[in-house]
Amino acid sequence: MDADTPISQLPGIGKYYFYKLKGLEIKTVEDLIYHLPFRYDDFAKIEKIQSVTPGQKLSIVGIVWQITNIRARSGKFITRATVADESGTIEVIWFNQPFLTKNIKAGMQISLAGKADLQGSRVILVSPTYEILRRRLGTPGGESNIHPGGALVHTARLVPVYPETEGITSRWLRAKIASVLPEYLRSQKDFIPYEILEKQKFIKLDKALHDIHFPNNFDEVEKATKRLSFDELFLIQLTTILRKQDWQKKRKAPAMKLDKEKISQFVESLPFKLTAAQKKAARQILFDLKKTTPQNRLLEGDVGSGKTVVAAIAAYVAYLNGFDTLLAAPTEILAFQHHQTLTEILSSWAVKIGIWTGSKKSAGNITCGTHALLSTFKQQRPIGLVIVDEQHRFGVAQRAKLFLRHNLRLTPHLLTMTATPIPRTLALTLYGDLDLSILDEMPQGRQKIATFVVPNLKRNNAYKFIEKQVFEGRQAFIITPFIEPSETMITVKAAKVEFGKLKDKFSKNISLGLLHGRLKSKEKEEIISKFRKNKIHILVTTPVVEVGIDIPNATVMMIESAERFGLAQLHQLRGRVGRGKHKSYCLLFTDSRSPGSYKRLKSMEKIYVGAELAEIDLKMRGPGEIFGLKQSGFINLKIANLSDHQMIARAQEEAKRIIEIDPILKSFPILKQKISKLSSAFAQPN
């Protein structure tokens, strides 16, 4: 058995568990080993039964005196057991687990871990985890669920708790990991060079992996976490540096000439003045286009900061040099928006703007499209520039396919864009192979949107306010997280239900529209067109409008169940209004009673810089939900904390140093093999 052994080859993994594990992204033995705990229950203290007090988390060890199933009036089973040690007895209760009487028998020595509760005047254990120590008192052998090192797995220790899914519990995962971990560790060699381990004072990989799953104390957890966090960040840094080297050495791009006179005329013809940030970004991008090394640049800027205009300048330069441009967007809505914006900016300069989606296909000098550009688009002229918007929604393999399939002799320049606000440190960590341009100022005339976290008791006032805005000629968005109601999250608003309810909340003269991702392209287009023409006054929608809808007349953004969104996403949704000359508002509603959640939302009232909001979310919620890292093509981070700037700096420093010493990692074969494996994983389509 090695790291790449399919999980299906392990004993006891049939079709059921195979598909359940796949949902947790566990496909190999290594995936299982790196399915890491997110917390630990401290059951290390073994109490005498006589000393157990209500509310206490603890372990006890005793002999089962009796165990039986009782059927309650509801028809459900209650399993009751009496367990004794030398100090006394305690009653133990489990609910809806009648099979326990087949596993646990009177006379067995058992270890139990859980929380003590009070039932009447008696202290009891409710639904504890159990481990059988001996099958019968005085009988040798018969250990069950014992870690190969001799320690218990589920009780009488720090017990790891893992991300779970229906049918896969932490208990199941602990037992399975305990059974494969020793053999896995024997087959692995530490890929971090010994000098780095010494310098950074890290423990070895085998100890880190053992201790993260089965620690004796929290000090071991901390040391294991530091080592494994460094591994993730170090591998990201090394991979991006090597990828950048490969990009620069192996690929040639068309070197474009800059006709300064024509570029100046084009910029001066725009109906607005470029900001200093836009001018700086445009200069950086055009400087890249002059080189034979393909541009690989990330243009980051808040919603409304003017990224599309900067991209249009680059596309115009490509056109002047006889090359076409592709602009890939993750949704049809955004592709159509780009098509409209570029048509307004470039059509008077004889540049033909095409659209290529599932529903519409016409090629141009600049063709805006969706994933359809990957499959059905056939170029007419050489592609000199590829622009990918909201690039984190495209996998690495998909981005590569966009610019490699169209030109065998030359690699097009690549400009990626995102409105997702990412702190600079994080951007450099995740996208270290890209050069970075940031639009950190808003165009003249863009206003701050008055933002309020609104209590539910003022909901009707909010509806009246929206109605007043509509009667003054304005429009509004009402955002819900879901399309349909969720059985598991009944308090979370859903677009279809809200649309039905809201019809009765507003005057009959007010027209409401419903927009969500399951509508056909033609339906979406029709609704957006009506909203743009003010034939729909209030658009009830899911976050499908997060990017790509520009309605200068919209002045109110009302967001239901706002706690379900990250601050970065709320900031992007807020950016859908305030695009015209009228004062605009963002109203945040929440049913959450969590003080932390309320405090997080209140930060939207004071902070209007996306990167600052992203930094707050990074600390409070972690990176995965905020930035969609699973789709970014990088390592799916298991343990590294991307707000730990010190660890990021250590990883960057060591990665740069090792490449300076040995650019092709010839002296580090195990590390090179690890990087090669990761790089091939990145290249797999998402």
Name the more confident of 231 and 592: 231
**pTM of this structure:** 0.71
**Rg from Cα positions in the chain:** 30
Rounded to an integer, what distance in angstroms lies between the CA atom of residue 59 and that of residue 574?
Answer: 50
Nearest C-alpha neighbor of 176 from the set 291, 309, 18, 58: 18
Cross-strand bridge partners of residue 119? 122
What the block records as the tokens of 144 is 């069950």
pLDDT at residue number 535:
95
pLDDT at residue number 330:
84
Percent share of the chain, pLDDT over 90: 53
pLDDT at residue number 229:
94
Would the CA dihedral through 268, 273, 279, 285 be positive or negative? negative
pLDDT at residue number 634:
43
Of 267-271, 288-292, 407-411, the least confident: 407-411
Longest distance between any two alpha carbons in the chain, whole Å: 95
pLDDT at residue number 487:
39
Cross-strand bridge partners of residue 134? 109
pLDDT in tens, 2-16: 888 999 999 989 899
Contact between 551 and 579 (Cβ < 8 Å): yes
Rounded to an integer, what distance in angstroms lies between the CA atom of residue 439 and that of residue 418?
Answer: 11
Rounded to an integer, what distance in angstroms lies between the CA atom of residue 671 and that of residue 661?
Answer: 14
Name the more confident of 152 and 475: 475
Nearest C-alpha neighbor of 569 from the set 507, 627, 505: 627
What length is written for the chain?
A: 686
Helices (H), 347-448: 372-375, 396-404, 424-430
Cross-strand bridge partners of residue 113? 59, 129
Rounded to an integer, what distance in angstroms lies between the CA atom of residue 429 and that of residue 646?
Answer: 12
pLDDT at residue number 547:
62
pLDDT in tens, 355-399: 998 888 999 999 999 888 877 888 878 899 999 987 555 555 555
DSSP of 591-653, one letter per residue?
A: ----HHHHHHHHHHHH---HHHHHHHHHHHH-HHHHHTGGGTTS---SS--TT-HHHHHHHHH
Nearest C-alpha neighbor of 231 from the set 400, 391, 425, 30: 30
**Residue 281 pLDDT greater than 50, yes or no:** yes
Rounded to an integer, what distance in angstroms lies between the CA atom of residue 468 and that of residue 289?
Answer: 50
Contact between 3 and 28 (Cβ < 8 Å): yes
**Residue 208 pLDDT greater than 80, yes or no:** yes
Contact between 324 and 257 (Cβ < 8 Å): no
**Residue 137 pLDDT greater than 60, yes or no:** no
DSSP 8-state assignment for residue 580: S
- Chain centre to alpha carbon of residue 554: 29
pLDDT at residue number 409:
72
Name the more confident of 244 and 681: 244
Contact between 376 and 404 (Cβ < 8 Å): no
**Domains in the chain: ranges and CATH:** 1-38+167-184 (1.10.150), 40-161 (2.40.50.140), 260-439 (3.40.50.300), 450-607 (3.40.50.300)
Average pLDDT value for the chain: 86
pLDDT in tens, 333-352: 889 989 999 999 998 999 99
Sorting pLDDT into bands at 50, 70 and 90, what band is 404?
low
Name the more confident of 226 and 637: 226
Q: What is the mean pLDDT of residues 455-469?
A: 92
pLDDT at residue number 630:
43
Sorting pLDDT into bands at 50, 70 and 90, what band is 488?
very low
Cross-strand bridge partners of residue 536? none
Sorting pLDDT into bands at 50, 70 and 90, what band is 401?
low
pLDDT at residue number 558:
95
**Residue 190 pLDDT greater than 50, yes or no:** yes
Cross-strand bridge partners of residue 451? 586
Specify the long-range contacts of residues 338-344, CB closer than 8 Å, at least 24 apart: 338/308, 338/368, 338/389, 338/548, 339/368, 341/308, 341/312, 341/550, 342/308, 342/312, 342/315, 342/366, 342/368
Sorting pLDDT into bands at 50, 70 and 90, what band is 631?
very low
pLDDT in tens, 292-309: 999 989 898 887 788 999
pLDDT at residue number 640:
85
**Residue 492 pLDDT greater than 70, yes or no:** no
Sorting pLDDT into bands at 50, 70 and 90, what band is 139?
very low
Q: What is the mean pLDDT of residues 532-558?
A: 86
Sorting pLDDT into bands at 50, 70 and 90, what band is 649?
confident
Contact between 377 and 356 (Cβ < 8 Å): yes
pLDDT in tens, 75-122: 889 999 999 999 999 999 999 999 999 999 999 999 999 999 998 889
DSSP of 44-70, one letter per residue?
A: --B--GGG--TT-EEEEEEEEEEEEEE
Contact between 253 and 413 (Cβ < 8 Å): yes
**Residue 321 pLDDT greater than 90, yes or no:** yes
Percent share of the chain, pLDDT over 70: 87
pLDDT in tens, 16-28: 999 999 989 899 9
Cross-strand bridge partners of residue 487? none
